[in-house]
Structure 1
Amino acid sequence: MDLARRLFMAQAARITAGAAFVPLASVAQAGINDQPPRRDGDAAKRYAMLIDLRQCIGCQACTVSCHIENEAPLGKFRTIVSQYEVENEETGDLAQFMLPRLCNHCDNPPCVPVCPVQATFQREDGIVVVDADRCVGCAYCVQACPYDARFINDRTQVADKCTFCAHRLEAGLLPACVESCVGGARIIGDIMDPDSQISRMIEEHRDELKVLQPDKNTVPHVFYLGMDERFIDRPQAAPGLWDVRDSAGAELGYEYGEH
């Protein structure tokens, strides 16, 4: 945790019917600027993910396996791989840039303090999760997330997001996206363990690692290796997979419409 702090300190969402049942007085009483105490998970660990963009081929295997593992509704995703066409500023040559995206499991998560019922909280091991039994679907956390990593699940009507597949980690398994990555681009592990693969890679590539939107001061724990500088902040571009059309040329637009 301290290592990550030293390294990296420097959508509009649809409001569901649940918001009608959250009066402003309740929000104030809940202490909207406070974070609930961490609970669950192993306090001796701090999970993080390193994504080696040099190995990502944009196959979307991670997107599909996550969708199946976590039973996300059609058109909603806990992780995606946005694909951009990048022009070389000197030669004009075009190339594809792949940007896997997911919840960043921040140490200073803006989604947590805005929850009026403290349904969103951070575990002892750093994983940010949603207590579906408490969530009222107000979507405050969806709007607060600077990474567009949350959505309201159409089926459950509560907030949904990547959890690093905490249920799999607790069973000694890798997250679905990591296990299915054909290029081995996703590495997850405990950064408190100096012998873990992710700790060794952080040490080896310390000066090359980047995080998304560092100016937000969220202290994200998804690190990127091989990141194009132009994509650290929200790029002025439209990922190609957003423009999905049928055989008649009509836009379908359901795949990544909210990402």
Structure 2
Amino acid sequence: MTCSRRNFLMGAGAVIFTTGVGANQLLGRQSLVAAEEGNGVVRYGMVHDETLCIGCTACTEACREVNKVPEGVSRLEIVRSEPQGEYPNVDYRFTRISCQHCDNAPCVHVCPTGAAYKDPNTGIVDVHDFKCVGCGYCLAACPYQVRFFNPVTRSADKCDFCRETNLKAGKQPACVESCPTKALTFGDLNDPTSEISQLIQNKPVYRQKVELGTQPKLYKVPHAKGEIKG
């Protein structure tokens, strides 16, 4: 199956749209959950608390094992900062890089075959392997650059919150279960009583590249209150 000229232009436009991205935006506490509550529909999201993350990468290994992610590619990464401070008081900071499960996902909009989609029942952005033709539009359109081609399935791949593995078995995503410091919180953003909603209401959090209108559902607790990541 070939991609039409119209779809090519859509993909090209998405690439232009994602270049020159500015700084991330810090979010207020009270309006964050209230503004995004749905009508009884589940919207799964995740919080990565950077103040608790120690960079052990237990999450990445658990993800690889549970979801059978081939060597050479990864659904999530923990990135370490440059050394902070001076010897002997040197420290590092860690942040999570993975699919943001955007409510307004560019990867879904540019996909010419419908392989990239957002599940209306969970809000999870996922990929139909059998529909993917390997055109690469979704990889180019993603502002977070977290998609890759799976060398086994030969289709686009990325974090799916363990939708077909742990989540289907009624468990938390593998990364959440494996984190020794409880730096990851997963749950329903539309439920104001859920642990994730309560955490977002009571701690300063930020999301990356919200100025693009992607409405990402991966939140982060910054290392210092009021900090804005570049």
Instruction: Identify whether the pair has TM-score above 0.5, normalized to the shorter chain.
Output: yes
Structure-1 residue corresponding to 2:4: 24
Unaligned runs of 5+ in 2: 14-38
> Taking structure 1 as reference, are residues 22 and 86 closer, same or farther at Cα in structure 2, changes over 3 Å only?
farther
Match of 1:49, SS state, is strand
1:182 corresponds to:
180
Q: Could you say which residue in structure 2 is the equivalent of 1:150?
A: 147
Q: Contact (CA 8 Å) 1:142, 1:151: kept in 2 or not?
A: yes
* Distance (Å, rounded) in 1 between the aligned partners of 2:12 and 2:130: 19
SS class of match (1:163): coil
1:130 corresponds to which letter in structure 2? V
User: Is the contact between residue 52 and residue 224 of structure 1 (CA under 8 Å) also seen in structure 2?
Assistant: yes
For CA contacts below 8 A with separation 6 or more, give which structure has more relative contact order. Answer: 2
User: What is the CA-CA distance between 1:152 and the residue it aligns to?
Assistant: 0.4
Q: Distance in 1 between matches of 2:77 and 2:168?
A: 23
Q: Distance in 1 between matches of 2:93 and 2:170?
A: 32
Q: Confirm or deny that 1:103 pairs with 2:99.
A: yes
Cα separation, 2, equivalents of 1:110 and 1:58: 29
- For the Cα contact (< 8 Å) 2:63–2:175, is it kept in 1? yes
1:191 alignment counterpart: 189
How well do the aligned residues superpose, as a CA RMSD in angstroms? Answer: 2.8
What are the within-5 Å matches in structure 2 for residues 114-133 of structure 1?
Answer: 114-124=110-120, 125-133=122-130
Residue 141 (structure 1) aligned with residue 142 (structure 2) = no
Q: Which amino acid aligns with 2:178?
A: S
Rounded to whole Å, the distance in 1 between the matches of 2:104 and 2:66 is 27
Please list the CA deviations of residues 40-77 of structure 1 after superposition, one character each: whole Å capped at 9, or x if unmatched. xx972110101111110000000000011111111100
Tell whether the 8 Å contact from 1:211 to 1:232 is kept in structure 2 after alignment: no
Aligned length: 202
Distance (whole Å) between structure 2 residues aligned to residue 232 and residue 218 of structure 1: 17
**Alignment CA distance shift 1:230-1:136 (3 Å):** farther
What's the CA shift for 1:25?
4.1
Given the alignment of the two structures, is residue 77 of structure 1 paired with residue 62 of structure 2, yes or no? no
AA matched with 2:176: V
- 1:224 aligned residue: 220
1:246 is matched with which residue? none
SS where residue 94 of structure 2 aligns? strand
Kept in 2, the 8 Å contact 1:150–1:160? The answer is yes
Residue 60 in 1 paired to residue 80 in 2? no
- TM-superposed CA distance for 1:190, in Å, is 0.4
Structure 1 portions without partners, runs of 5+ = 1-20, 34-41, 234-259
SS at match of 2:91: strand
- 1:95: Cα distance to partner? 2.5
Range moving further from structure 2, 151-160 or 209-218 = 209-218
Rounded Cα–Cα distance in structure 2 between residues aligned with 1:70 and 1:50? 20
The C-alpha deviation readout for 1:61-118, integer Å capped at 9, x for no partner, is 00000011111111100011011124459x9x64211011110001111111111101
* Inter-partner Cα distance in structure 2 for 1:126 and 1:101: 19
Indicate which of 195, 200, 203 corresponds to 1:202.
200
Query: So what's the TM-score if we normalise by structure 2?
Result: 0.79
Q: Distance in 1 between matches of 2:215 and 2:41?
A: 19
The residue that corresponds to 1:165 in the other structure is 162
Q: Deviations over 1:26-48 (max 9, x none)?
A: 737x9999xxxxxxxx9721101
Offset, 1:203: 1.2
